[in-house]
Amino acid sequence: MADWEVQRRLAAILAADVVGYTRLMEEDTDGTVAAWQAARDDVVEPAAQDHSGRIVKLTGDGFLVEFQAVQEAVNCAIAMQQGLASSRLEFRMGVNLGDIIDDGRDIHGEGANIAARIESLAEPGGINISGDVYNQVKNRIKAAFEDRGEQDVKNVSDPVRVYAIRMAGGDEPPGTAGQSVPDKPSIAVLLFDNLSGDPEQDYFADGMVEEIITGLSHICWLRVIARNSSFIFKGQPIDIRDVAEKLGVRYVMEGSVRKAGDRVRITAQLVEADAGRHLWADRFDGTLADVFDLQDQITAGVVAAIEPSVRRAEIDRAKRKRPDDLGAYDLYLRAIERMYEITPQGRDQSLAYIDQALTIDPGFAEAHGVAAWC
């Protein structure tokens, strides 16, 4: 150590760990160790080498890899998750771009810390990237990006913008591969049609949609498809069910912008894609005297209306399911409905649903919250 000079540099860091490692070791120590060794030897180390990565450390339940190029880091994470799909182990991964300190044996600093923190927020088998990484790779990686909003992470003073990667296959553009609809609610906001006959108003329509996407991303239980994925449908004939299938979402929002003089009218509607059912629609009028205030006003109105509309639709969806088809999230939704009755009977039934949900998913934080409220 005495001969090593501490180095500071900018690097892309890939952090990963095994989901439920402690539980897996308790259930089958030998099998878990063997699966980890196979994943390490057959996938992790070869992928890191193929993408010019340096494995900083391997632990019993994870690893840390450094890259000089951020695109290589993201491509490596994607290659690893694809290669690990057949493993009995599930990994979470996080990629960040930032300053690190290399002491010759390990790396430290916010660059590595944030990678580890956003990795812990990823879904099993998933990849999270920071906003800095997203800005570097959004037009260079064949994948769809879901904006998860700003996240408060431990020991980092400012919130971190997080994007989840959903991989697309073949030669299709990002986000157009047929994808399964996730268990939890998800929404895509399409570009609003410019009905003004003035091409210069496209900037206003596009900006309006970006503001709405950002606003919706703050609803923690709602997955929002990132701008670059939904914007690929610009200028194309739209079939809501087809769009929803390609983006892997349940709900689609579309709208239009019409300008006359200094007046502008925005219309928007929310559609439940598989049922072709309109859940909500509204119209907003204003002036372009202060375009940013108008965008903020409309965004606030849209977000305030969509949150309860989607929540109600999700509860209705759960109620339509057969009891033997209910998952943890469906039971949670049924519990919420009964909880809001504010009666002893409603409370007892809500707790019964929550008990079933926690039996399926003991780590379901929102379900624990409902139990505590009851």
pLDDT tens sequence across 206-255: 878 888 888 887 777 788 887 766 777 776 777 888 888 888 888 899 88
pLDDT of residue 122: 87
3-state secondary structure of 236: coil
Q: 128 near 41, Cβ under 8 Å?
A: no
Domain ranges in the chain are 7-167, 186-320, 323-373
The model scores a pTM over 0.75:
no
Q: Give the chain's mean pLDDT.
A: 81
Percent of the chain clearing pLDDT 90 (strictly above): 16
Tell me if the domain spanning 186-320 has CATH number 3.40.50.10610.
yes
Residue 15 has pLDDT above 90, yes or no: yes
Place of tokens 């950002």: 214
pLDDT tens sequence across 307-335: 888 877 877 766 666 655 567 877 888 88
**Over residues 92-106, mean pLDDT:** 84
7-167 maps to which CATH number? Answer: 3.30.70.1230
pLDDT tens sequence across 142-191: 778 888 888 877 767 678 889 998 764 433 333 333 343 345 688 889 88
CA 256/CA 311 separation, integer angstroms? 24
Least confidently predicted of 13-27, 127-141, 179-193, 281-295: 179-193
pLDDT of residue 322: 61
CA 336/CA 314 separation, integer angstroms? 11
CA 332/CA 56 separation, integer angstroms? 41
Q: 253 near 190, Cβ under 8 Å?
A: yes
pLDDT of residue 172: 38
pLDDT tens sequence across 65-80: 999 889 999 999 999 9
Query: What residue ranges in the chain does DSSP mark as E strands?
Result: 7-18, 54-59, 62-67, 91-102, 107-108, 127-130, 143-151, 160-167, 186-189, 193-194, 223-225, 251-260, 263-272, 277-287
Q: Largest alpha-carbon pair distance within the chain?
A: 73
